């Protein structure tokens, strides 16, 4: 994965930091639109200028920053947790949805409902302290591999999006993740992989409880949902965590629509972008009828409103880091 | 209110930024302890060094950054909202706790239970959009005056704490508010008054709902508590919003104890400080038996654990900005 280092001198020398930071983008409409937007909001004294403090950009994670096919990464994680904990839970051999997870061959997809997924996550996460959970995620993410490519999941991130994150930050933006995924599943690795610190990660969460264990304070994960950061939940999560409206938002599915609507409805320059997965050769091709990352209503709205739609096939030179 | 401007050159020239930034602190033990801690964590290569990204400092608000006597500022705000809305709610004339708020003379304290306070806040805040609420707070805070001093509430902040916030930030700390007060009651003014942006404010909150009004997306405040950021809630709020443990925490009451315990229990250098209100001449004197800002168990624990306890009377040259 490429890294970008910026010197203070370089930042001071120019208003807009070089768009050379987008080398994996073809010079098609999306790249031009991104650069035009950034130049507009960073030009001091011009009508579209936005102060640094208000340069908030929010990114969905699954399907926007990293691959979500053939299954959500967190689902793979939860599946591995079920297997790791199966000996302690003999009742799972007979109890759905655990039974089917434990008996289906690894290469085969297991259909689980959203409700079942929650049940799995709760059963495998609850009771752990936040510190224990962080360690489990850290260990897992450093070794778990994508079922198709065999690469680490942290290498299944989109190189053009990494460049976009860096380009925005170089121009004074604060970049946030706003994902339906678990907030504590993402935080252990987002700083290293995306340059996004834990305090700029918003996601779904379970409730936790403060308690003393052997004289030491801990936060224990409870088997109770606190917040679902998806669809209508995304603007709610943004308001709760950031307290101001983004000026730029990036997504890939109908689950991101409300975040983009919320972003677009603010005053002044706004930038909304959808990633369209249409590259079956280099990644996956799916949209209106997909169960994962459905892009249907949001696609229509993006077109109607003139939002930027990235064709992965045509607009990106590279998909994954070399 | 004094402001502090730093040049990049000054920041680069020295590791620890000058403790001259603490002019309102007497050179007693608390000031020495603060400076020793900051020098320790910022000294590159030394054993206590903490990377900038991990320099998280959390501050309670009421009684720690601004005055909380004779009533919480937000209670004054809620009271004014009840009066402003009374004509629309004739039923309040006969319904407690509204009746007593509307009939008690202004100068007189009204005793309300925590439950009643919640009822008041819900009744006066719910139904508004977050944008409407922000405007109401912004208007109110720019004119509302302290019942005793007649100064704006934003001038009833503690000058030594403003200097401390600036000193920590000049040394690479990210400063957060972690308050039992309402998150949306604080955010409209914390950046201007404390230099703390909305995304670094954590507080109690009500639930909100995303909806479309006349084709525009809005977030509507619901009459339902989402989160109480007090006592055991403070470490929960810190984990939810920041996702890493502070290395320094500042409070003034038993309601802050769990935040300080959580902070103190991390590895490496830690700094915990309690402000003790013992200056009846310049501010107020209250601790163990006070209903507002009770400092009892936490005081004992601070002494037992060797945390820093500020005597407002002896350790602060000035209380409020000149």
**How confident is the model over A96-148, as pLDDT tens digits?**
999 998 998 776 777 888 788 878 888 888 899 999 999 999 999 999 999 99
User: Does the pLDDT of residue B48 top 70, yes or no?
Assistant: yes
Q: What percent of chain B has pLDDT over 90?
A: 82
Dist CA A236 CA A256 (whole Å): 12
User: Does the pLDDT of residue A264 top 50, yes or no?
Assistant: yes
Select the residue of B208, B216, B233 nearest A236 (Cβ to Cβ).
Answer: B208
Dist CA B160 CA B313 (whole Å): 12
Q: Strand pairing partners for A58?
A: A176, A249
**pLDDT of B230-278, one tens digit each?**
999 999 999 999 999 999 999 999 999 999 999 999 999 999 999 999 9
Select the residue of B209, B241, B265 nearest A216 (Cβ to Cβ).
Answer: B265
- Strand, helix or coil for residue A157: strand
Give B104 to chain A, closest Cα distance, Å: 35
User: Does the pLDDT of residue B3 top 60, yes or no?
Assistant: no
Are the Cβ atoms of B210 and A199 closer than 8 angstroms? no
- C-alpha angle B321/B176/A208, rounded to 5°? 145
Are the Cβ atoms of A199 and B174 closer than 8 angstroms? yes
**Confidence band (pLDDT; 50, 70, 90) for B12?**
very low
Q: A187-210 as b/e, with b when 16 or more CB fall inside 10 Å?
A: bbbbbebbebbbbbbbbbbbbbeb
Instruction: Tell me how many residue pairs between chain A and chain B have CB atoms under 8 A apart.
Output: 85
Please tell me the predicted confidence (pLDDT) of residue A177.
98
Q: What percent of chain B has pLDDT over 70?
A: 93
**Confidence band (pLDDT; 50, 70, 90) for B2?**
very low
Give A225 to chain B, closest Cα distance, Å: 12
Select the residue of B184, B217, B244 nearest A235 (Cβ to Cβ).
Answer: B217
Please tell me the predicted confidence (pLDDT) of residue A104.
83
Are the Cβ atoms of A243 and B183 closer than 8 angstroms? yes
Please tell me the predicted confidence (pLDDT) of residue A309.
98
**Confidence band (pLDDT; 50, 70, 90) for B40?**
very high
Q: A141 CB contacts (<8 Å, ≥6 apart)?
A: A152, A153, A154, A188, A189
With contact defined as beta carbons under 8 Å apart, do B39 and B229 qualify? Answer: no
Interval B23-38 mean pLDDT = 97
Select the residue of B53, B198, B209 nearest A243 (Cβ to Cβ).
Answer: B198
The ipTM is: 0.92
Residue of B184, B210, B215 to mutate, testing the A interface (most A Cβ within 10 Å of its Cβ): B210
Are the Cβ atoms of B261 and A217 closer than 8 angstroms? yes
Strands A271-276 and B201-213, bridge-based pairing: unpaired
Dist CA B275 CA B85 (whole Å): 37
Are the Cβ atoms of A244 and B219 closer than 8 angstroms? no
Are the Cβ atoms of A232 and B243 closer than 8 angstroms? no
Please tell me the predicted confidence (pLDDT) of residue A17.
60
Are the Cβ atoms of B243 and A183 closer than 8 angstroms? yes
pTM greater than 0.95 (yes/no): no
Please tell me the predicted confidence (pLDDT) of residue A118.
78
Residues of B with CB under 8 A from a CB of A: 8, 53, 56, 130, 174, 183-184, 187, 191, 197-201, 205, 208-211, 216-217, 219, 226, 232-233, 235-236, 239-244, 258, 261-262, 265
- C-alpha angle B131/B127/B213, rounded to 5°? 65
For chain A, the maximum distance between any two Cα atoms, rounded to a whole number of angstroms, is 67
List of chain B residues whose C-beta atoms are within 8 Å of the C-beta of residue A236: 208-210, 219
List of chain A residues whose C-beta atoms are within 8 Å of the C-beta of residue B235: 210, 217, 219
Interval A43-52 mean pLDDT = 96
**What DSSP element (H or E) covers B220?**
strand B216-227
Are the Cβ atoms of B235 and A242 closer than 8 angstroms? no
List of chain B residues whose C-beta atoms are within 8 Å of the C-beta of residue A197: 53
User: Does the pLDDT of residue A2 top 60, yes or no?
Assistant: no
- Choose the weakest-confidence range: A46-55, A116-125, A143-152, B291-300: A116-125
**Confidence band (pLDDT; 50, 70, 90) for B123?**
confident
List of chain A residues whose C-beta atoms are within 8 Å of the C-beta of residue B262: 210, 217
The percent helix, strand, coil of chain B (3-state, each to 5) is 45, 20, 40
User: Does the pLDDT of residue A15 top 80, yes or no?
Assistant: no
User: Does the pLDDT of residue B11 top 70, yes or no?
Assistant: no
User: What does the mean pLDDT of chain A come to?
Assistant: 92
**pLDDT of B61-110, one tens digit each?**
999 999 999 989 998 999 899 999 999 999 999 999 999 989 987 767 77
CA distances from residue A80 to A86, A141, B149 in whole angstroms, order as listed? 10, 11, 62
**Confidence band (pLDDT; 50, 70, 90) for A49?**
very high
Unique residue bearing structure tokens 């470490």: B235
Got the DSSP string for B162-195? Answer: HHHHHHHHHTTPEEEEEEEEEHHHHHHHHHHHHS
List of chain B residues whose C-beta atoms are within 8 Å of the C-beta of residue A265: 216-217
Q: Strand pairing partners for A210?
A: A219
Q: Is B288 exposed, middle or buried (0-12, 13-18, 19+ CB in 10 A)?
A: exposed
Are the Cβ atoms of A241 and B239 closer than 8 angstroms? no
Please tell me the predicted confidence (pLDDT) of residue B5.
42
pLDDT: is B101 or A151 the higher one? A151
Please tell me the predicted confidence (pLDDT) of residue A19.
59
Are the Cβ atoms of B242 and A199 closer than 8 angstroms? yes
Interval B180-186 mean pLDDT = 96
Considering only CA atoms, give the Rg of chain B.
20
User: What does the mean pLDDT of chain B come to?
Assistant: 92
Interval A149-172 mean pLDDT = 97
**pLDDT of A164-201, one tens digit each?**
999 999 999 999 999 999 999 999 999 999 999 999 99
User: Does the pLDDT of residue A256 top 80, yes or no?
Assistant: yes
List of chain B residues whose C-beta atoms are within 8 Å of the C-beta of residue A8: 8
Dist CA B67 CA B321 (whole Å): 12
**Confidence band (pLDDT; 50, 70, 90) for B15?**
low
Are the Cβ atoms of B210 and A174 closer than 8 angstroms? no
User: Does the pLDDT of residue A12 top 60, yes or no?
Assistant: no
């Amino acid at each position: 994965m490429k890294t970008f280092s910026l010197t203070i001198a370089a930042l001071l020398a120019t208003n807009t930091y070089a768009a050379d930071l987008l080398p994996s983008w073809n010079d098609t409409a999306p790249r031009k639109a991104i650069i035009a937007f950034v130049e507009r909001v960073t030009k001091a004294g011009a009508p579209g200028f936005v102060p640094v403090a208000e340069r908030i950009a929010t990114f969905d994670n699954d399907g926007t920053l990293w691959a979500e096919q053939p299954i959500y990464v967190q689902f793979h994680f939860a599946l591995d947790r079920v297997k790791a904990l199966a000996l302690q839970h003999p009742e799972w051999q007979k109890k759905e949805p655990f039974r089917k997870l434990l008996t289906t061959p690894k290469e085969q997809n297991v259909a689980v409902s959203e409700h079942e997924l929650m049940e799995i996550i709760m059963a495998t996460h609850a009771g752990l302290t936040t510190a224990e959970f962080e360690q489990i995620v850290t260990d897992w993410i450093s070794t778990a591999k994508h079922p198709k490519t065999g690469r680490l999941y942290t290498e299944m991130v989109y190189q053009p999006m990494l460049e976009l994150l860096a380009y925005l930050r170089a121009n004074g933006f604060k970049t946030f993740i706003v994902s339906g995924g678990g907030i504590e599943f993402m935080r252990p690795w987002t700083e290293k992989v995306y340059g996004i610190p834990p305090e700029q990660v918003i996601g779904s969460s379970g409730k936790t409880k403060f308690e003393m264990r052997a004289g030491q304070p801990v936060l224990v994960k409870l088997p109770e949902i606190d917040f679902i950061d998806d669809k209508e939940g995304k603007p709610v999560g943004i308001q709760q965590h950031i307290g101001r409206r983004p000026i730029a938002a990036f997504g890939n599915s109908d689950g991101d629509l409300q975040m983009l609507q919320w972003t677009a409805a603010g005053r002044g320059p706004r930038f909304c972008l959808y990633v369209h997965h249409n590259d079956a050769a280099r990644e996956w091709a799916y949209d209106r009828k997909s169960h994962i990352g459905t892009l249907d209503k949001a696609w229509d709205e993006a077109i109607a409103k003139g939002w930027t739609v990235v064709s992965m096939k045509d607009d990106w030179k590279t998909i994954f880091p070399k």
